[in-house]
Amino acid sequence: MPKLANGMCSKIRLASAVAVLSGVVACGASNAPSSASSASSNSTAPDASAARQSAAAPKLPEVAPPADQTGGFDGAKAYEHVAKLVSFGPRPPASEGLRRSQEYIMGQLKADGCEVDQDDFHASTPKGDVVMKNIIAKAPGGGQGIILLLTHYDTLSSVANFVGAEDSASSTGMMIEMARQLCGKKGPNSVWMAFLDGEEAFVNWDQDDDHTYGSRELAARMAVSGELKRVKAVILADMIGQYTLKILRQSDSPKWLNDLVWKTAGRLGYQDIFVADSTQTSDDHDPFLARGVPALDIIDLNDYISAGYWHTPQDTMDKVSPRSVAIVGYVILESVDELQKKFR
C-alpha cells in the first residue's frame, strides 16, 4: 500500500524504544501535539487533575457517566465488555483466547437482537495459512445504504502476555454496546458493525501486507457482492480508551467525514478529546479508502506510544478509562445519527 511504502505512521511498524521515539517524530512532526502541549490545551476538561501528568497514565480511577448523559450509550456496560475480553487473555488469530472472544461477541450480539454474519476465511501470512473470522452485526435500514462501523478484536501475537486492553479490547467493548444501541432500531440506512480479525502483523507490518487481514477480506468480499457500492461511510474505532485521550483528525480521510464527526464531538462538548490537529494512521480503514469508500479512523496511537504502553505487556485494564470509552461511544452513536440524516 502506498502509505506504508512512503513510511507513514503505520500502526505496527515500530519495534524498539528508539524506533518508537523516532516514529512519533516521523509520524506526527507537523501537527501531533506533544504531551506537554496537549496537557496545557486541555484545562477545561472535567478530569483535569493528576490524570494528565503523563500521557495515558492513569492517576485517578474514572467512572463512566450515567447512560442518560451519553445519549443512552452505556459506558459502564461497554467497560464490562472490555474487561471480559481482556479476561480471555491474549487473543491472537486462531488462539483459544480469540475463540472465547468470538463466542462472547456473538452471544452478546444475538442477545441484542442483531442479525449476525460470520465470515470464516483463510489468510496467507508469513506464519503460513491462518484461519480467521470476521463477525458482522447488522442493524436494519429502510433503504439500500450502509453505514459501516469497524473495530478489530485480535491482539498482537509477537509479544508474550499481551492482553491488549487498549489495543483492541477498548474499541471492541465499545462496539458491542454500540450494537445493543443500534440493532433494535431501523434507520434510513443499515448500520453494519464489523468485528475484524487479523489486524495485527504476525512478523512485520511493513512487509508483504502483513496486517489488516480482516478488513482487506471484508472490503474485497463486499466489492464482489456489490455491497461496497452501498456504503456511505466507514468509521473505524481503535485504541479509544486512554485516560488522556486525544483523537486527531485523519488527513487521508475525506474532509466532510472528519468534519461530521468533529462537529458532533464539539456539539457534545468534547473538543478537548476530539482535537483540531491532524495525523495519518495506517489501519483497518485503509482497504476501504483504497477502494474509494469514505473512511475515517478514530484512534489515539501517538499518546500510547509516548507513554510506552503500546504493544507491551503493560497494555492492561488500568490504562482504560470507562469515561473515555463512553465518550467515544456517544460521539460515534451521534455521528451515526448525523450520517442517517445526511443520507436519508
C-alpha to C-alpha distance for 149 and 215, rounded to whole angstroms: 11
C-alpha 73 chain-centroid distance: 17
Nearer to Zn ion, 167 or 252 (CB): 167
Q: Of residues 187-206, which lie at the interface with Zn ion (CB under 5 A)?
A: none
What is the closest distance, in whole angstroms, from the C-beta atom of residue 151 to Zn ion in the complex? Answer: 12
Whose CA is closest to 303, among 125, 113, 38?
38
Nearer to Zn ion, 109 or 163 (CB): 163
- Counting residues that bind Zn ion (by CB under 5 A) gives 1
What is the closest distance, in whole angstroms, from the C-beta atom of residue 211 to Zn ion in the complex? Answer: 9
What is the closest distance, in whole angstroms, from the C-beta atom of residue 200 to Zn ion in the complex? Answer: 5
Q: What is the DSSP string of 172-191?
A: HHHHHHHHHHHTT--BSSEE
What is the closest distance, in whole angstroms, from the C-beta atom of residue 156 to Zn ion in the complex? Answer: 5
Q: Of residues 166-185, which lie at the interface with Zn ion (CB under 5 A)?
A: 167
C-alpha to C-alpha distance for 331 and 268, rounded to whole angstroms: 8
Range list of β-strands (E), the chain? 9-10, 115-125, 128-139, 146-152, 190-196, 231-238, 247-250, 274-279, 281-282, 295-299
Nearest residue to Zn ion, scored by beta-carbon proximity: 167
C-alpha to C-alpha distance for 246 and 38, rounded to whole angstroms: 8
What is the closest distance, in whole angstroms, from the C-beta atom of residue 169 to Zn ion in the complex? Answer: 11
Nearer to Zn ion, 94 or 268 (CB): 94
The residue type found at 10 is S
Nearer to Zn ion, 13 or 52 (CB): 13
Does 210 bind Zn ion (CB under 5 A)? Our answer is no
Q: Of residues 138-167, which lie at the interface with Zn ion (CB under 5 A)?
A: 167
C-alpha to C-alpha distance for 307 and 203, rounded to whole angstroms: 23
Nearer to Zn ion, 47 or 167 (CB): 167
* Interface with Zn ion (CB under 5 A): 167
